[in-house]
Amino acid sequence: MSTQLSSPSATPPAAPPPSGGLRGLLADWSSDQQAFKVSWGKTMMWIFLLSDTFVFSCFLTGYMSVRMATTVPWPNPSEVFALHVGGADIPLLLIAIMTFVLITSSGTMAMAVNFAYRRARRECALLMLVTALFGMLFVGMQAFEWTKLIVDEGVRPWSNPMGAAQFGSTFFMITGFHGLHVSCGVIYLLVVATRVLRGRYEATGNYQIVEIAGLYWHFVDLVWVFIFALFYLW
């Protein structure tokens, strides 16, 4: 009876199917298995952004409810947020610059994602650093805006010499929460840009982390559009 030996070039046996139960779930999770052709990283970011959408929606809805319910006159945003330039008060000048900076950063972030998938890591990292710089500029202007209201105008979260007391609480809560998101986004972008520049993802060629960071940054920009429309223009 002869024994047949398999050749080295023979097709290897198929991998066993993953085990069920909790152990199988943990194995799939750790190996970054994809559901609906979407990676876990991108899926988790979408889930986080969805939950954050609910939080900002509650904040803005509460702000609109408080503003419509108060009997004390609400301060005029065009006057409160006017910037004194050349002997004249220009309404919403600083807010307009902040909006322009943040919207522009969304464009540089989109370009960074494009270069990432083309594996042009230096251009990608440079554009991410520019986006982070725009974010820092935005936070700096927001700090100037807060300082002006607190020091010069005397606005507090519990009081407001220009009208309804709820103005201060809603303003600091909403803009502060958004500013925290921008600050975290700047740190996130700096970390990812540094890793891209060092070639961290060059071996695998998987630059999807740049797209995931872009999703977060575009969300932050979109939220500011709603804050700008409902808080500063209304």
Predicted confidence pLDDT, tens digits, the chain (234 residues): 444 443 444 444 444 455 567 887 777 666 656 556 778 888 899 999 999 999 999 999 999 999 999 989 999 988 899 888 888 889 999 999 999 999 999 999 999 999 999 999 999 999 999 999 999 999 999 999 999 999 988 999 898 898 999 999 999 999 999 999 999 999 999 999 999 999 888 877 788 999 999 999 999 999 999 999 999 988
Q: Is the pTM of this model over 0.75?
A: yes
Q: What is the pLDDT of residue 230?
A: 92
Question: How many Cβ atoms sit within 10 Å of the Cβ of residue 120?
Answer: 16
Cα-based distances in Å from 161 to 80, 150, 205:
11, 11, 57
Please, what are the domains in the chain? 39-232 (1.20.120.80)
**Alpha-helical runs (H) found in the chain:** 21-30, 40-69, 77-80, 93-117, 121-147, 166-197, 208-227
For residue 35, the model assigns a pLDDT of 56
β-sheet bridge partners, residue 156: 159
Are 14 and 3 within 8 A, CB to CB?
no
φ, ψ of residue 7 in degrees (nearest 5): -80, 155
3-state secondary structure 176-196: HHHHHHHHHHHHHHHHHHHHH
pLDDT at 192: 96
Confidence (pLDDT) at 201: 85
Residue 9: per-residue pLDDT = 43
Secondary structure class of 117 (helix, strand, coil): helix
